[in-house]
Structures are given as C-alpha cells and as structure tokens.
Structure 1
Amino acid sequence: MERVVICGLSNRALKMFVEPLIARFHHDNEIVALLDIDPKRHEVCLQTYPALANATFYRPDQFEQMVKETNATMAVVASRDDTHVDYILRGLALGLNIISEKPMVTTSEDARRVLEAEKASKGKVTVAFNYRYNPYHIKIKELIQSGRIGRITSIDLNWYIDTYHGSSYFKRWNRNRAFSGGLSVHKSTHHFDLVNWWINQRPQEVFAFGDLHYYGAKSELNPRLENGRHCGTCSDRQNCSYYRRWFGRNQSTQIKDDHLMAGQDLGAYTGYRPDACVFDEEIDIEDTYVANVRYDGGALLSYSINFSLPYEGYRLAINGTNGRIETQEYHAPSRTPFPVPEQTIDLFPLFGAKETIHVVQKEGGHGGGDPVIQEDLFLGEDPTRPFDVLAGAEAGALSVAVGEAVWKSAKRGAPIRIETLLANKEEV
C-alpha cells in the first residue's frame, strides 16, 4: 500500500491525481496528507472530496514533518511549476517515490539537481507526460518501433493554440518566466518529450527564434495602455478582441484555468486570480516560437508553436529512410469555427501506396490516454507493452533542457547545446 501525499491542490491535482486515487486505485494507494500554501484550496478539496476528511493538511514548510507523521511513501507534486524542484528534492532526500506533473522543473539547472538527487536516493521520479498515452501517439510509436518507416531522419511538428486557450496562459502566473520557465518549458515540454520518445534519440543542439506578438503592453490588439486590469471588472473588455471572441457582452466570465474548479469564483483562492489582463507590461515570456533541434541519431526536428490562432491542434510529419508518417489533429472541435475531419494517421512507404490508419479511442481525457497513464502511475507500468511509455527523470530533464534552450537561443541569436545546459557549463 502506497501512502500518498499531494503537494499542491490545483484543479489539475484534484482531477488528474486525487479523484482517480479515491475512485479507482484506493485498494493499493491511500492519500494520507494534503499540502498547499493556501488553506482555501484545502477547503475546496474537502468540499469536493469528503473522503479526504482524515488526510491531514500541511503547509510547505512542514514537508518533512508531514512525511514523518504520516509515514508517507509517495509524493505527488502538482503545485506551481517553479516549486516542483523543492518538493522533489525534499522527497528524494527522504527516500520517497515522486510523481511530478509536467514540466518536472523549470530550468535545466534544477533538472540536473533532480537527476543527481535521484541517483543518491532509494526513491525515483516519474513525470506525468499524459500526452504520450494518447492513442494516436501510441500508434505512432508502434509504427516507428516496428521499423515501418526505417531510420528517422526528420520531424516537422507545428502546434497551434487557439485564442481561448492561448490567452489563458497570459492571464495567470504562467506569463512570468520565473514561475513557469516560459511557454517553451511549461507547454512545449509536452511536445519535445513526445518527439524524444517517439524517435528514441537524444537532443543535442537547439537553434530558435521567438517573440511576443499578440500579448503584452505593446500588442497592437491592446485597446488601451493600462496595467493591472482584470477581465471580471475591466471597463475595456468590450473593446478587447480576446474577451469579445469568447464572452461577447456577457458580464460573467468562465475563465479557462487548470487551477480552479468549474464554476468557482475568480477570487476563490488567496492572492490568485486567473483573469489578469493579457496586455500587462509584466509579461516577460514569448507567445511564438520556431525551433530546430539536432539529435544524436542524426534526426532533425523543425518545430513551431503559436499561442493565438483561430483553431487548436497540430500537424505532424515524421520522415524515415523507408517512408513517412503524417497526421493532423483539430483539438477542441467545439471551439473550432468550421467542421473538422476525423484524425487519422497516414503512412507513406517510400516506394508504395499510402495506408490510412484509423485509431481506436477510449473514454477519458486525451482520447482515453489519461485513464491509462493513471493505471501506470498507481498500479505500475503495463508489462505487456513492447516499449516503455511512463517517463522518468531523465525524460523530464531533457524536455526541460530543450525548452530552456529554445527561449535562450531566441534571446541570444545563437545555438544552445543541451549537454552544456544540463552540465551547468553554459556560456553566459
């Protein structure tokens, strides 16, 4: 029986970890403690899940006390990104197994510290890269693993975030690099991890460009220069294209946020509101990136992401010495202003006819991927698979290092080597 402590009571923590632990995995796991900086989050957690009434509540400075008093064996870390490293290191020092929400940490230096701490601990780190478990992504891994397209030579991955989802990152703490590592870390680590895992090659060097085009005070979409506005009370919201697109003239805003429960008041938590103005001067991250990544097996990645587009999804092409894989996803079809086709995977042999593959999806988030990763996290990885899917600390570190290299390369106009970041020998 694992004795589990939850560090960070975000909506993400409750839905992705707490709820399945209570509903599906309670025979092998018991939540014995809850930790957060804000007692109001604890109140919301207990209101939502009364079964946790016997789980003791602790503050961040009581981590060691919590582990000792509850005899914890596992820590789930789902707090704000920049705080992950503290709980991971403290947990490893006490021999706990760690499940960390992505990104594992926000800097390559912290990633290196985690890797070193894991080597010295009896505990291990698992990173909850649930996007690996999407059935389309599993199928792509199977096709590559089976050699259908030969040795991988190049990957084209273009990711599109719509104006509803994209703007949400600029309404909350993600917009500060000190908290999130920037979106090339907070968001793109998902994508870099997918590529690393698909092709089973190690990233070596990154060259990238990035900028802030849509958000921030200098945006041409800003109706008026002023700091400190909030969507819920803003007098300019009827002149704000982002607000009007999704809320019209409605006075109540249903803000997209992974850290509030559905229907919660915008001021439900202490010192936290997810409706800050997307045109504030304090925004110090980018909303657009293009990047090239070179891998140790010879593969080359061409990647782009944009956080203010009319629809959401991605386009992917993977080229190999024996053929090519293509797929396109339209995410959140209810927010897409046109009919969208079913996602399929097209396989093009180098010398042969195209094969279209229809993938079976299941119930649950990410095409049924979320329930499957939860099984691996809390029951152990499925031993019948021909390849590993669950991600460890090294995968978490490599994805963070690529994400950091992207924004640093964009700032410096120079390539960044991954090994220098993780070895903490980077040239300043």
Structure 2
Amino acid sequence: MIVNRDPREIIDNSKMSSLQVLVIFITVCLGALDGFDLLSISFAAPGIASEWQINRVSLGVVLSMELIGMGFGSILLGGIADKLGRRRTILVCLTLMSISMFLSTTSASVFELSIWRVFTGFGIGGMLTSINAIAAEYANAKFRSLCVSLVAAGYPIGGAIGGTIASVLLVDYDWRSVFYLGTFATILFIPLVYFLVPESIHWLTSKQPDNALAKINKILVRIRQNPISHLPDISEKISHQSIKDIFSKSLVKITILISLLYIFHVSTFYFILKWMPKIVVDMGFNSSEASSVLVWANIGGILGAVLFSLLTLRFGLKALMTSVLALSALFVTLLGQMNANLTHLSLMSAIAHFFTNASMVGMYALFTQIFPTHVRAFGTGFCIGIGRAGSVLSPILAGYLFSLNLAFSQVAFFMSLGSCLALFILVFISLNANIKQ
C-alpha cells in the first residue's frame, strides 16, 4: 500500500525495524573502529619513543598529528556528507583510513609518521560526523538520544578491544603490529557498509537528488514500511538552505558556544588517552603493562558511555552533562595522585575515563539536538573540527609541562581544568530538539 506521508515522520513515529537496528549497530562498530585507529598511536607510543630515541616534547607532537587531521576532516568531510550523502562519505573515509594506517608502518622518521597520522585523522574526522548523523536519522524519536549516545560509546569499545589485542601483539612484535591490526580491521568494514548501510532517508528527503523517491521507497520497503506516493514539498526557504547556516543569526551563537565547550573538555579527555601509556612506562612498567592500563581506561569509558546513554531516557541531557563534567575534572585530578601501582593506576584510569567519556557521549547527543538535518553533519563536523584543532595543544601542552619536571599530580590537575571550563560554558547553552528540519 502506498501512503501519503513524510518519510521522516514514518521513521520518527514507527517501531525500529531489524535493518534500522543493524544500521545503528554498524555505526557503533564504526565508532569503535575510529576509537582504535585514533588510539593506535597511543599504544605504539612507548615503542616509537624507544626505537627512535625521541623526547616527550617530540612524542607529544606525534601524538597530536591525527588530531590536526581530524580537525580538517571533520569540517571538510562533514560538509561533503551534507552535500553528497552520509553513506558515500563513510566509504571514502574508510578507504583513506585503511591506506594511511598501512603506510604508517613504512615510516622511518617522526616526520613521515606524522604525515600519515594526519591523513588517518582526516578520515576519522569525516567518519565521526557521518556516523553521528546517520545514527540520528535512522533512529526513531523515542530512542534517538540513546542510539546517538551508543555510537559515541563505540569509541572506548574499540580502544578496549583493540588495546587488548595490541597488548598481546606488543609482547612479541614491535609497534608496527598495532597499525597492521588497524589496517586489517578498517578494510573489513568497507564491504559491510557498502552492502548493509543505505543512505539516510532524512538526507534524501531534504536534498531530493535524482531518483530520490525511488531510492526512499526502496529503503522504506527494506525497513518494513509502506512506500510513499510523492516527495514532501520543499519550500523556497528550505530549498535555499546551505551548510553555511551554522553561522546564521539563529545558529551562530550556539555554534560558537558548543565548539568552545568541546575544545575545553576534549583537552582533558585526550590527556588520559594520549599520555597514560607513556606515564606508566616511565613509572617502570613495560609497554604491554602500560597498554593494559589504557585498556582499563577504555573499559571505564564503555561503562560511562552506556550508563549515560540509558540515563538519557529518563533525565534531561543538560543536567546529565553538568554532573559528568564536574566529576570528570575531579577524577582526572585524583588520577594524578596515584603512585606506581599498576592495579591502582588501572582502577583510577577506568573511573576517570568513565566520566570523561560520558561527557563526550553527551556532546554528540547535543550536536543532534542543536543542528537541523541540512547542516547536521557539517555542524557536527565544524564543532568537532574546531574542537580537535584546539585540542591538538593538549598532548603538546602536557608534554611541555612534563618537560618542566612537574609531577604527574600537577600536570593532571592542570589538564583537568578543561572539563571545568566546559562546565562553565554549558550554563549558557539552551537545547531545542528538531530532528526533522
């Protein structure tokens, strides 16, 4: 039976089909892939520092390179995802990530490795914006915040699973084995996305490219819904919408505020993920043991992300964000008080990252509530891009502070201030959810 309804309303108000659940699951897995690909340099860092005899300042620069790539990738590829489609952008990002991860293994210097990490980060940045948008647009209204939060939860899942495997590999092989693992995992996802993830119905309805009606109806049948008789009318105002609208009078303030919020918290977030393996090695443990601490941090991150996701079904997003940002600052500071005890370091890393990652999950949920469909990927990408570009200074700053012979406790306290500043900015942000725009 053919119906006369807006396909976006059909998705919003209907029970999610098995294909929609599968799409969400794949986006969670892609989030996990992003998590491992990005953290691979952290697992490899002790081996790189040892082989090439580089100091902490130089290592901090290497650790920051993919963040630069993520900044540009999030902005540029986020815009492409809004113009050319989410699915196509994801496939391009996967291809770029697999090539650059493999070429990282051929590096013979810090400069070469830095170049390939920039390209890896570029693909990761575009991937993050696309999967966040497609998850929001395939979830129904009831479970949208939960689904987007679960996608963000994939990040520490990838770090934990990949880190566990990396810890085993590093016992017998050098740091390059971590990048081989990332290359193999990334390549596996290309056919999965190509065959199992359809284009976003929200995007097709909003952009109405050639054969949009036929494409939408084909997807509607796949998700067990009736096809529609015609495309919704696009008003003249909507037809002139542009990705530049994130700088329009109605959105520019929130764009600036949420970008600043992201910049500050992500500086705290990456302090744990980028520096813990090296900090643990400097306490006298080996690379495998250091990787295990980061694995526990990611386990804490998984638990924080999942619990935060479930709490969005009962509590307001802003109230949840306020709580976890405050606790993020507190426990990162407490992490700096730990002595050279592997059990204590693992436990406190897990607790600290429980809250830092819960805060990150909340930010991705904020993006989907703040930005309408026609700028959702670009708006998300812009905020992530500006935030990641700013956060490039995080590993470098931490490296510089360590080079001044400051204690771990002092550096941890200083880096925790990012979450405090993010909490202050959150006060000025008001939320309005309108996924159909």
TM-score between the two structures when normalised by the length of structure 1 = 0.25
Select the structure that is richer in strand. 1
Select the structure that is richer in helix. 2
TM-score between the two structures when normalised by the length of structure 2 = 0.25
Query: Of the two structures, which has the highest relative contact order with CA contacts closer than 8 Å and spacing of 6 or more?
Result: 2
